[in-house]
A and B are shown apart, each in its own frame.
Chain A
Amino acid sequence: MSVLPKWADAILIPLLSILISFVISGLVILYLGLNPFEALRLMVTGALGSSYGWGYTLFYTTNFIFTGLCAAIAFHARLFNIGGEGQATLGGLGVALVCLAVPWPHWTLALPAALIGGALFGAAWAFIPAWLQARRGSHIVITTIMFNYIAAALMVYLLVEILKPEGSMDPASRRFGPGAELPLFSDIFGLVGIPFSSSAPANISFFIALLACLLFWLLVWRTRLGYEIRAYGHSETAADYAGISPVRMIIIAMIVSGALAGCMAINSVMAAERLVLNSVEGAGFIGLAVALMGRSHPVGVILAALLFGFLYQGGGELALWANIPRELIILIQGLVILFTGALDNMVRMPLERIFLMIRRPGRQGA
């Protein structure tokens, strides 16, 4: 029984939820002593007013597209993968090991190898909770949270004890070779004569993220496997009855999910040109907000990732110019998750009532 037309479900409800989150964020900004519209202006100029701003915005967007897709594929199988953070962390390790192991002659060779490394490590980190859920019935939410912490501890250990170059105080790996340097937007756009800031980290990974969205769409809506994953997500019993193995679905969905999170590292780690502690910076969690807001659809994910990329960069600028800490973005993220995810019915119920009221007179006439 769906009262709402499809467009209202896919566009109107998320928009209203975001609007509510933004109004509340605006009130918080007002409380902090800044005019919200002034704050918005600062954020827009900082994030979108220059090619430098765009370069950072799209850099963050790239991260969030990957982690958003990571959460989205799990949502399709009705799994709540809160472990994107840990999977992306391990993906970073995979990318770093690939980049460090071989003196890569050129990025065209380094990138595919690093992509495979990141995806493999991310997928492996997701596989264990997936297997535990599928075979032993351990709740995947709890296990993936635990795996985030285990990943963080593992990373500290590896960086401090093993990967850190001798004599360095900084818990970070040594620099990757010049052959692992990805072309930045300034290089790419420079080819066609468009000037772009060369100090912004946005790079070719952005296009790989877009490609991942396309592949995601093909996988979920145009293949048999995608159909099975969605069927399993809608009803486990029905899927089981139709001969779809729940164990297989859980494991495949989580492996894809972890691999997508791991792919994020080609952007975050390769752009930094070395592996540092906390290279993920919460992007794994933002992925949850992105997927919820984007309704687990690649187009939605891209738009939501762009919004969060803007917020992330704009929030940084705000911290710089207006003495409002960067944590504002965490608050906004929390509000978006709350309203688009948990309080979905708060927006949906009144809306359904309105649509019913509009529809009723029409029916009587017919």
Chain B
Amino acid sequence: MDFLTLLQVLDTSVRLATPLLFACLAGLVCERAGIFDIGLEGKMLASAFFSAAVAAISGSVWIGLLAGVMASVALAGVHGLASITFRGNQLISGVAINFLASGLTVLIAQDWFGQGGRTPSLSGGARFNEIKLPFADLLSGLPYIGQSYAELFSGHSLLVYVGFLTVPLTWWVIFRTRFGLRLRAAGENPEAVDTAGVNVIRIRYTAIAICGLLCGLAGVYLATGLQAGFVKEMSSGRGFIALAALIFAKWRPWYALFSCLLFGFFQALSFRPDVVKAVTSLDVPGQLLDALPYILTVVILAGFVGKAIPPRAGGEPYVKES
């Protein structure tokens, strides 16, 4: 395998890792605040549809982005209502949100566009197009470093760069700000937060809103960056891979970056069976690569490789003493 092929695979990994990364960080913020969210998938899907649909109608990807994020935040609001205000089961609520999204998107897509649950394909200003970093063409002649710069770092859509910048931002917010401290405390020991006179409910709602925003970006990238339009069930389990990546990352932003890149890499490999065969000289079935993130997560969860300890108060509604 030559260097260019490697770069191509890595380039695809970065693209495929981006939606995982957004969703994973969304889950991170939410779960750190003590709210389990298995509805990442649904929020991503809803956002993918509404961003593509509105971008197709308006011709502007930015209006699409707004619509997608709003749809995702709205679903996050439902999750908040169920799991914070009405103290319902957060897992059940997440499952419900996934179904709501997967049903609604197709119904509305059929009603609006009549193309069997897809949107028209997007082009031009209705998409996030690839950005060429400065000097990419100039440096592409330079072996290794220049090639990597031109192939791997340059030529992604804006949201990919935003996604990678979200990692340090999330780290900073969670570990270096007062809000982040309170958010983590709300996920570990909400009673203590309450005793300190801080509103647990408000913190958790804020976390859920951030989660909605980030899931929204994941969906927007999926439909307007990675692909050009919405197709039925296009999130195809990415919300759950992101959840797996979150556990793999032990609820830490920087680890999340690496686990998402790793899982993105597996996905990229399953598109290139020829590369896998050339390198390992084994006939690795593509399905095994598809299943690898899930298998790895189970192994991690089983505690055979390190221990993943979730936030202590995760999944429990907070009931204020009265």
Interface set of A (CB-CB < 8 Å, partner B): 28, 31-33, 80, 82, 128, 132, 136-139, 141-143, 145-147, 149-150, 153-154, 156-157, 160-161, 285, 288, 292, 323-325, 327-335, 337-338, 341-346, 349
**Residue in B38, B93, B97, B117 whose beta carbon sits within 8 Å of that of A145 in the complex:** B38
Separation of A128 and B88 alpha carbons in the complex (Å) = 28
Q: Are A143 and B91 in contact (CB under 8 A)?
A: no
B107 adjacent to A82 (CB under 8 Å): no
Which residue of chain A lies nearest to B86 when distances are taken between CB atoms in the complex?
A345
Q: Is B83 an interface residue (CB 8 A)?
A: yes
B294 surroundings in chain A (CB, below 8 A) = 146-147, 149-150, 153
- Report the separation of the CA atoms of residues A161 and B287 in the bound assembly, to the nearest whole angstrom: 11
Q: Does B55 contact A (CB under 8 A)?
A: no
Could you say which of B91, B96, B104, B295 contacts A338, with CB atoms under 8 Å apart? Answer: B96
Knowing A139-B310, A154-B291, A335-B96, say if A147 contacts B102 (CB, 8 Å).
no
Residue of B at shortest CB range from A161?
B285
In the complex, what residues of A have CB within 8 A of residue B92's CB? 80, 288, 292, 337-338, 341-342
- The answer to whether A156 and B96 have CB atoms under 8 Å apart is no
Decide: A82 near B100, CB < 8 A? Known: A146-B297, A325-B110.
no
- B276, CB-defined interface residue at 8 Å: no
Report the bound CA distance from A82 to B293 in whole Å. Answer: 18
- B297 engages A142 (CB within 8 Å): yes
A337 touches B103 (CB 8 A): no
Known contacts A146-B244, A327-B117, A153 near B106 by CB under 8 Å = no
Min CB gap B90→A, angstroms: 8
**A325 CA / B90 CA spacing, docked (Å):** 29
B residues within 8 A CB of A137?
303
Chain B residues closer than 8 Å to A138, beta-carbon distance:
298, 301-303
Contact call B86/A80, Cβ cutoff below 8 A: no
Q: Is B161 an interface residue (CB 8 A)?
A: no
Contact indicator A141/B298 (Cβ below 8 Å): no
**Highest count of chain A CB atoms <10 Å: which of B91, B92, B102:** B92
Q: Say whether A323 contacts B301, CB under 8 Å.
A: no
16 new A-B contacts at CB < 8 Å, known A142-B243, A146-B295, A343-B81: A28-B107, A82-B95, A128-B298, A146-B294, A149-B294, A150-B295, A154-B287, A327-B106, A330-B103, A331-B99, A334-B100, A334-B101, A341-B89, A341-B95, A343-B93, A345-B88
Q: Whole-angstrom distance between the alpha carbons of A338 and B79 in the complex?
A: 9
Give the contacting residue for A337; candidates B95, B288, B295, B298; CB below 8 A: B95
Is B141 interfacial (CB-CB < 8 Å)?
A: no
Residues of B within 8 A of A (CB): 38, 78, 81-83, 86-93, 95-107, 110-111, 117, 237, 240, 243-244, 247, 285, 287-288, 290-291, 294-295, 297-298, 301-303, 310
Cα(A21)–Cα(B305), bound, Å: 44
Known: A141-B38, A325-B106. A338 touches B100 (CB 8 A): yes
Docked-complex contact A32 and B95, CB < 8 angstroms: no
16 cross-chain CB contacts under 8 A: A138-B301, A141-B91, A142-B244, A146-B295, A157-B288, A285-B99, A288-B95, A331-B99, A331-B103, A334-B101, A337-B96, A341-B93, A341-B96, A342-B90, A343-B88, A349-B86
Nearest Cβ on chain A to B269's Cβ, whole angstroms: 14
A143 and B298 in contact, given A32-B111, A331-B103, A343-B82 (Cβ under 8 angstroms): yes
Secondary structure call for the A interface: helix
- Chain A residues contacting B302 (CB-CB under 8 Å) are 132, 136, 138
Contact with B301, one of A139, A285, A328 (Cβ below 8 angstroms): A139
Closest to B98 in A: A334
Contacts of A80 in B (CB 8 A): 89, 91-92
Give bound CA distance, A276 to B132, whole Å. 45
How distant is the Cα of A139 from the Cα of B247 in the complex, in angstroms? Answer: 11
**CB of B1 to closest CB in A, whole Å:** 24
Residues of chain B with a CB closer than 8 A to A136's CB = 301-303
Q: Which of B101, B117, B298 contacts A147 (CB 8 A)?
A: B298
Chain A nearest CB from B132 CB (Å) reads 36
- Identify which of A32, A327, A343 contacts B102 (C-beta below 8 A): A327
Residue on A nearest B41 in the bound complex, by CB: A145
A348, closest chain B residue (CB): B86
Question: In the bound complex, how far is the Cα of B105 from the Cα of A329, in angstroms?
Answer: 13
Residue pair A150, B291 in contact (C-beta under 8 Å): yes
Closest B residue, CB atoms, query A286: B99
Contacts of A82 in B (CB 8 A): 38, 91, 95
Among residues of B, the one whose C-beta sits closest to the C-beta of A133 is B301
Q: Quick one: which of B97, B103, B291 contacts A149, CB cutoff 8 A?
A: B291
Give 9 closest A-B pairs by Cβ, nearest first: A331-B103, A334-B99, A342-B93, A330-B103, A338-B96, A138-B301, A341-B92, A153-B291, A334-B100
Partner of A157, one of B38, B86, B95, B287: B287
Q: Which residues of A contact B96 (CB under 8 A)?
A: 334-335, 337-338, 341-342
